[in-house]
Amino acid sequence: NNSEYNISVKDILNEKTNFVEIVDEKKYPLLNRTLNHLFVYLYLRLLVEKVLVEKFNIDVKDKPLQLGQIIDKAFSKDRIKERIRLTSKKTLLNEFNHFEGNLSIFQPALDITTNALNKEKEDILSFVEKLNNE
């Protein structure tokens, strides 16, 4: 089947990040866990990028920026704690800096437990909510 699907950032951000069975969890537990983790990584990265670009009016139209560059532009020297908080998040920066063309999609989920990922997810979601309420 040569079906083609187009999924936008908006589509991804409208999804819940609850863990679900993507593939047969009994037959492929590692693959199911990995795909769930991968989705959470992508969701968090896109969410933070979108919120920072919109809130701080960062121009990414002429020159696309990596998330680290967006964080630096959003949080100047007077907001260094916020910049450090985001740049220390493994889910945001370390795993997807080279997502394009990286065929090793299983690597991100292997070194973090689901519980640790959920804690980090909640921390980032709380940070974004607080930022949106400023």
**How much is the pLDDT for 76?**
82
pTM of the model: 0.81
Which pairs from 103-106 meet CB under 8 Å and 24+ separation? 105/34, 105/38, 106/31, 106/34
Reported as a single tens digit per residue, the pLDDT across 42-101 is 899 899 999 999 999 999 988 888 888 899 999 988 889 998 888 888 666 655 444 445
Residue boundaries of the structural domains of the chain: 9-132
70 touches 117 (CB < 8 A)? no
When pLDDT is cut at 50, 70 and 90, the band that residue 103 belongs to is very low
- DSSP at 77: G
The mean per-residue pLDDT over the stretch 26-48 comes to: 89
**How much is the pLDDT for 26?**
96
